[in-house]
Amino acid sequence: MRTGKKGELIYRGFWVAELAQQNTYEDVLYLLLHEHLPGTLESVQFHSQLAARRTLPVGITRLIDALPRDISHMTALRSVISALHVDDGDWPPVLDQALSIFAKAPTIVAYRYRLLNGKAAQPDLHTPEEGSVRRSQGELRELHSWSR
């Protein structure tokens, strides 16, 4: 939600800038889906749900590898996300599909970033281990500053 002329961005009563600085990606997703920030147990369970969906199928990594290097990051992300659920049926969208997209989006971005910067994709880049997630989040922060 924007508060008009001031250009302030607020989700579920929280300033977006504060959410981004004080919460994990997963906890902000939980807030958007459940209308409140998760407690400790809810956070652990939600992180586990997303971690179980984080792995990119081989066909998706091949698609990322084949994308033109000069397309925008958003175009690449949109193209790859469109290809994720070809076997799931399109309608009606279900929460499981959304969780899968939420889980895979950071991995897609980190995978492409590594590819474009001559870094080999590591087998654990798209697995649910905590260290892998931290590495991906670090690369996402680096990508954010790189794309400005």
Contact between 145 and 114 under an 8 Å Cβ cutoff? The reply is no
The model carries a pTM of: 0.74
Give yes or no for residue 87 having a pLDDT over 70. Answer: no
Give yes or no for residue 98 having a pLDDT over 70. Answer: yes
Name residues whose C-beta falls within 8 Å of residue 47's C-beta, 6 or more positions apart in sequence.
24, 26
Please report the pLDDT score of residue 128 as a whole number: 44
**pLDDT grade for 86, boundaries at 50, 70 and 90:** low
Nearest partner of 99 among 114, 79, 85, judged by Cα: 85
Q: For 5-53, write each residue's pLDDT tens digit.
A: 577 888 888 999 899 899 999 999 999 999 999 999 999 999 999 999 9
In the chain, domain spans: 4-50, 54-146
Number of H helices, E strands in the chain: 7, 2
Cα 122 → chain centroid: 18
Give yes or no for residue 122 having a pLDDT over 90. Answer: no
Q: What residue has token string 């091949």?
A: 62
